[in-house]
Amino acid sequence: MTRSSGYSLSHSYIDRKSHLPFYVQLEEILRAKIEKGELKPGERLPGEIELCQAYAVSRTVVRQALKDLTDEGLILRDKGKGTFVAEPKISESLVQKLTGFYQDMVDRGFTPVTQVLKQEVVPASEKIAGYLGLKPDTPVIEIQRLRFIQDEPIVLVTSFLPYALCPKLIHTDLSRQSLYAFLEKEAGVFIARGRRTIEAVAAGEYEARLLQVERGAPLIKLDSVSYLSDDTPMEYYRAFHRGDRSRFEVELVRTREQIGAKEGPADLPRSNDIVQVR
């Protein structure tokens, strides 16, 4: 549900003496209003002409500012309807700690809901068998889940786990619980580390329908293999996150072990940044 803008445009102005281009100043004004909550998610911004008049700038300036804010994901432009403040993106941890989506969202104050689309034993394909260190056709549990936050689909994830290591999982209700928590508490399986890759992809027809986006819309794809402490592969999953509603936080860690003695004092490292992968 959208709302018409009710804030005053007169509280900010374009500094004609500033070295910053007018469109950059206008971007910063509108961005500040969004970040301060003066412009709320779903609220419609004033039209281009109104912005031109309010800030005494050309339509070219307004259009460039709105384009940049759209590219940044702060606003959405709906042809024929107007420009609206976008819903804030949901942050997820990428490497800081090894948790699943469910626990990650709970830690951030959300109540995630899962729709289980598939949960059955299937023979491992060559690709899945390779990820899990199994022979092709070995039984694995395939689980496909559509994850929701505040009744909005955010991510479509498909997991594959060796059936022999967690047979109870095939009968487990995962609609309101963490897969990792179940594995640890009920199956005695503790996932110690993981390796994930991330890339941008376009939504296919299937993903678009389930995630309620247009076909070709940007998605963030994660591929992950998780391991037990003895390096046994326990889970492979692929996940498609909505690009308009997701962002990932990455913690970069710098360790002295990677800093060569020739580089200088250990307390003054200068290079070899590494990413700690979960």
Q: What is the pLDDT of residues 93-139, one digit of tens each?
A: 444 444 555 555 555 555 678 899 999 999 999 989 999 999 999 99
* Residues 53 and 155 placed together within one structural domain of the fold: no
194 pLDDT above the threshold of 80: yes
Find the mean pLDDT for residues 182-196.
87
* Residues 70 and 94 placed together within one structural domain of the fold: no
Best mean pLDDT range from 175-189, 201-215, 259-273: 201-215
Task: Please give the single-letter amino acid code of residue 16.
Answer: R
* Residues 200 and 74 placed together within one structural domain of the fold: no
Nearest Cα to Cα of residue 159 among 142, 140, 176: 142
Residue 28: predicted pLDDT:
87
Residue 109: predicted pLDDT:
54
What confidence category does residue 276 fall into, taking pLDDT thresholds of 50, 70 and 90? very low
* Residues 108 and 240 placed together within one structural domain of the fold: yes
Q: Which residues contact 182 (CB under 8 A, 6 or more apart)?
A: 169, 172, 174
* Residues 141 and 241 placed together within one structural domain of the fold: yes
The angle subtended at Cα 119 by Cα 115 and Cα 125, nearest 5°, is 125
More confident residue, 130 or 187: 130
Residue 77 CA to residue 95 CA, distance in Å, equals 33
Residue 245: predicted pLDDT:
76
Task: Please list the helix, strand and coil fractions of the chain in percent, rounded to the nearest 5, in that order.
Answer: 30, 30, 40
How confident is the prediction for the chain on average, in pLDDT?
80
Residue 153: predicted pLDDT:
92
Nearest Cα to Cα of residue 65 among 31, 17, 89, 18: 31
Residue 266: predicted pLDDT:
44
What confidence category does residue 234 fall into, taking pLDDT thresholds of 50, 70 and 90? very high
Residue 41 CA to residue 88 CA, distance in Å, equals 7
Find the mean pLDDT for residues 132-149.
94
Sign of CA dihedral 96, 148, 154, 223: positive
* Residues 107 and 38 placed together within one structural domain of the fold: no
Residue 139 CA to residue 184 CA, distance in Å, equals 21
Find the mean pLDDT for residues 12-34.
87
Find the mean pLDDT for residues 152-170.
93
* Residues 60 and 95 placed together within one structural domain of the fold: no
Sign of CA dihedral 121, 195, 241, 111: positive
* Residues 131 and 80 placed together within one structural domain of the fold: no
Q: Is residue 176 part of a domain?
A: yes
Q: How many domains does the chain have?
A: 2
Task: Please give the single-letter amino acid code of residue 93.
Answer: S
CB 244 within 8 A of CB 216: no
Task: Please give the single-letter amino acid code of residue 179.
Answer: L
* Residues 176 and 244 placed together within one structural domain of the fold: yes
pTM of the model: 0.61
- For the sheet with 82-85, list strands across it: 3-4, 43-44, 82-85, 75-78
User: What percentage of the chain exceeds 90 in pLDDT?
Assistant: 35
* Residues 100 and 231 placed together within one structural domain of the fold: yes
Structural domain including 94 reads 90-253
How does pLDDT run across 46-83, given as a tens digit for each residue?
999 999 999 999 999 999 999 888 877 788 888 778 89
Q: What is the CATH number of the domain that holds 100?
A: 3.40.1410.10
* Residues 41 and 133 placed together within one structural domain of the fold: no
